[in-house]
Amino acid sequence: VKVAALIPAAGSGTRLGLGPKAFVPVEGRTLLGRSAAALAPHVHEVLIALPAGLDLPGDVPGRAVVGGDTRQASVLALLRATDADVVLIHDAARPFLPSRVIRDLLAAVQDTGAATAAMPVADTLVRADPAGDWGTLTPREGLWAVQTPQAFRRAALIAAHEAALADGHAATDDAGLIARAGQPVALVPGDARLLKVTTPGDLLIAQALARVWDA
Q: Which of 91, 104, 173, 174 binds ligand CTP (CB under 6 A)?
A: 91
**CB-nearer residue toward ligand CTP: 21 or 161:** 21
**Amino acid, single-letter form, for residue 34:** R
Q: How many residues bind Mg ion (CB under 5 A)?
A: 1
What residues from 129 to 188 belong to the interface with ligand CTP (CB under 6 A)?
Answer: none
Q: Is the link from the previous residue into 139 a cis peptide, with omega within 30 of 0?
A: no
Determine if 196 is a binding residue for ligand CTP (CB under 6 A).
yes
Determine if 64 is a binding residue for ligand CTP (CB under 6 A).
no
What residues from 2 to 31 belong to the interface with Mg ion (CB under 5 A)?
Answer: 11
Cα–Cα distance between 134 and 150 in angstroms, integer? Answer: 33
**Amino acid, single-letter form, for residue 124:** T
| Least distance CB 14 / Mg ion (angstroms) | 7
Determine if 92 is a binding residue for ligand CTP (CB under 6 A).
yes
Are 38 and 97 in contact by the 8 Å Cβ rule? The answer is: yes
Give the other-Cβ count within 10 Å of 60's Cβ: 25
List, edge to edge, every strand of the sheet that includes 186-189.
63-66, 45-50, 3-8, 86-89, 144-153, 114-120, 186-189
What residues from 13 to 42 belong to the interface with ligand CTP (CB under 6 A)?
Answer: 13-15, 21-22
Binding site for ligand CTP (CB under 6 A): 8-15, 21-22, 49, 67-71, 74, 91-93, 196, 198
